[in-house]
Amino acid sequence: MTLKQICRAFLKSLILIQIVEVMYPEEFVLPMKAELVDNGFEDLTTASEVENAVKKQGTTLLVINSVCGCAAGACRPGVLMAIANAPIKPDYITTSFAGFDIEAINKVRELQLPYPPSSPAILLFKDGQLVNMVERHQIEGRPAQLIAQHLITVFQEHCN
């Protein structure tokens, strides 16, 4: 068994013991979802939607949205700045909400190996493969402009 297979099995066992109920009320989540969805992000709510989105040819940005302050103050604004200002952008921009889109987030966590679960987080897939991930610890305490600048560099490296 390879390390990736071991990690995947471990992650699946963690997913099985996770709370399967929605953690946050819709009234809290919908305005935070709207911040990205109203700017062209596809809202992924099921495992099959996640799988179909990331396996597309080209590049897919997937933002794991969250209720936390660093998502509100840095992640979402940084991602929106990057998309608005990057000369080269991902082919597809998508989002799922941690603690709300349970099925979708569990699928993302499978696909983000070897990275541990993280929210918020920003993932870039190319032709179905994860090529870059910005984890929570790389978002917390950083200004949105710095996150945008980093993402623009990532887009230039991986997007056509």
pLDDT in tens, 42-85: 999 999 999 999 999 999 999 999 988 888 899 999 999 999 99
pTM of the model: 0.86
∠ CA 73-153-41, nearest 5°, is 55
Q: Which residues make Cβ contacts (< 8 Å) with residue 3, sequence separation at least 6?
A: 114
Residue 70 designated active-site: yes
Extents of the domains making up the chain: 3-158
Residue 68 designated active-site: yes
Among residues 28, 144, 160, which one has the least CA distance to residue 134? 144
Strands 92-97 and 121-126: unpaired
Determine which of 24-38, 62-76, 141-155 has the lowest per-residue pLDDT on average.
24-38
Among residues 31, 145, 36, which one has the least CA distance to residue 81? 145
Q: Could you give the CA distance from residue 23 to residue 31 in angstroms, rounded to a whole number?
A: 16
DSSP for residue 116: P
Determine which of 22-36, 65-79, 101-115, 132-146 has the lowest per-residue pLDDT on average.
22-36
Dihedrals phi, psi of 75, to nearest 5 degrees: -65, -60
DSSP string for residues in 22-72:
-SS-HHHHHHHHHHHHTTT-EE--SHHHHHHHHTSSSEEEEEEE-SSHHII
DSSP for residue 88: S
CATH superfamily of 3-158: Glutaredoxin (3.40.30.10)
Does pLDDT of 88 surpass 70?
yes
Buried b (16+ CB within 10 A) or exposed e, 87-103: eebbebbbbbbbbbbbb
Q: Taking a C-beta distance cutoff of 8 angstroms, is the pair 33, 43 a contact?
A: yes
